[in-house]
A and B are shown apart, each in its own frame.
Chain A
């Protein structure tokens, strides 16, 4: 196992694939544009660019190698500036298998390791053969579970499981419901508005050229809808011994395993129109790096276990993720209406020894569950208006991307009591986690 491995020989092609497609389009346009003038200079220039990109990719492939030894994944790369990275598997938060469109055609896949660090880009192995990637992921996960490697890991890591064991399907998104939900969501509304405006402007002025300056923006909005559909299409969640398996994607497919005990927060989002259909969205937050530039749009969003599903499905998934989670039942005092007239009807919280849950939101109800053992710090906040009304809020910070459990607009005495008791409860929960 300690021998060095190389990536798949076709990986340079896949890694530059995205640029190749773009360059191909540019090339075609240039060929048509230059056809009349007979000027081939740009054409040759572009071929040189493509060639350089490919050669750079091949060199990077030649000097990249990886190894698994002693519970550490090591990736060496770089021709001029050698770069050797080690990823202790016990610290791995999740491992994803990502297939871009081109990689799928070639039967390749990329392996992404997500570590807890806020900035470090996790480990990436691009590309391996799909079967190899799956096997490697199973191996790495089982090594991460090994008892010797659990130093610093908190939470139920479970016994060293036979990875690749039986899966119990939990959820499968319905394509037509997903399409409907995205159209009825905020991104969908934006895209629809943009399309309507574009059509109207063209119809009224009769000159399509007018919208040219705004075309990039319009395309961006429509693309964001497409991207959401593309990433969330065919989401399948299954429970396996090593955690929840999540697969999704239309063209670019992603498969990831969410290890139990790594979930920092769970959130159920119910936008206004979705509530009429009884739909909701369930997202989990996992500690991990902010995503790199190429997929920032994915990184901004939380991982949706249920992109859209019925309330019952969400409840079932919630029960799978958390152990007997409480419901937000304690409503905010009536005078909070003056401070938060639009969101008062949703404000509520509840807590027990294991979790704190809080609901908020104006039009779109967001209910957040935070496991107490994951709480990093507790904040008590009181604005000027809240002071006038004798209210205060308490926030629970977790190590995820941007979810904060926010107990909004409570009575000052109650908020003070929460602030006094929560750190002790969180410590007790942590201690339990360590013993287990």
Chain B
């Protein structure tokens, strides 16, 4: 799973991230299943509607099984000169973002994340393609990490 230096100390997002993802899945699955069932029910028969609704709920449950692995795949490591972020189960990605390349950092929190006291940290470089975000950080941790990264970025800043 981990490539490169084996001595990297990986840090994980908060354990609450899994709960946040579960709540988000429920919040998406239930209305979608209801609407899908209703459409199926009015367009076809009640049985079709029920089938569609149950099918969508099952899809949501399957997705839930997958969530734990997805959440567990997230990790980040603060190294001396750069930040490493890894993620993904099916497609595994590992990004290295030098501190000096960070243009700006923002911390966002959606309603679900906010209710659990979590936040997502996102780092932007001048390249649009580089995606580096760490979801499910404790709010205080996120703020601390943001300030820390900003300070490091300032110290090592490089032009374009």
Residues of A in contact with B (beta carbons under 8 Å apart): 93, 116, 118, 152-155, 262, 264, 287, 374, 376-384, 387, 392, 395, 397-400, 402, 404, 412, 415-417, 419-420, 422-424, 426-427, 430, 434
Contacts and interface: CB of A to CB of B under 8 A. Distances in A.
Interface of B: 3-5, 81-82, 90-98, 100-101, 125-130, 132, 158-160
Contact of A419 (B4, B97, B159): B4
A300 to B, nearest CB: 14
A420 B81 CA distance: 12
A384 B91 contact: yes
A416 B1 CA distance: 11
A387 B92 contact: yes
B94 A379 contact: yes
Nearest to A262: B160
B128 A118 contact: yes
Contacts of A412: 3
Contact of B126 (A376, A404, A416, A424): A376
Chain A interface, >50% SS class: mixed
A116 B130 CA distance: 16
Contacts of B101: 376-377
A79 B85 CA distance: 49
Given A384-B90, A419-B4, A427-B98, A153 B159 contact: yes
Contacts of A402: 128-129
30 contacts: A93-B160, A154-B158, A287-B160, A374-B160, A376-B97, A376-B126, A376-B127, A377-B95, A377-B101, A379-B94, A379-B95, A379-B130, A380-B93, A380-B94, A382-B93, A384-B90, A392-B3, A397-B125, A398-B127, A400-B127, A402-B128, A404-B129, A416-B3, A419-B94, A420-B3, A420-B4, A420-B5, A423-B82, A427-B81, A427-B98
Nearest to A387: B92
A401 B160 CA distance: 13
A302 to B, nearest CB: 14
Contacts of B159: 152-155
Interface hub of B91, B129, B160 (most chain A Cβ within 10 A): B160
A387 to B, nearest CB: 7
B98 A399 contact: no
A383 B128 CA distance: 21
A377 B81 CA distance: 12
A419 B159 CA distance: 22
Given A377-B97, A397-B125, A404-B129, A382 B4 contact: no
B65 to A, nearest CB: 17
B151 to A, nearest CB: 18
B149 to A, nearest CB: 14
Contact of A430 (B125, B130, B158): B158
Interface hub of A262, A381, A397 (most chain B Cβ within 10 A): A397
A417 B6 CA distance: 12
Nearest to B130: A377
Contacts of A153: 159
A400 B130 CA distance: 12
Nearest to A395: B129
Contact of B130 (A118, A383, A397, A415): A397
A430 B100 contact: yes
A192 B100 CA distance: 49
Nearest to B125: A376
Contact of B98 (A377, A380, A381, A417): A377
Contacts of A416: 3-4
Contacts of B100: 427, 430
Contacts of B128: 118, 402
B5 A423 contact: no
A263 to B, nearest CB: 11
Given A397-B125, A423-B98, 11 more contacts: A118-B126, A287-B160, A376-B101, A376-B127, A377-B98, A379-B95, A381-B93, A381-B94, A400-B127, A423-B81, A423-B82
Nearest to A416: B3
Given A154-B158, A392-B3, A397 B91 contact: no
A434 B4 contact: no
A165 B95 CA distance: 44
A426 B98 contact: yes
A117 to B, nearest CB: 9
User: Which are the 3 A-B pairs with shortest beta-carbon distances?
Assistant: A399-B126, A377-B130, A416-B3
B26 to A, nearest CB: 27
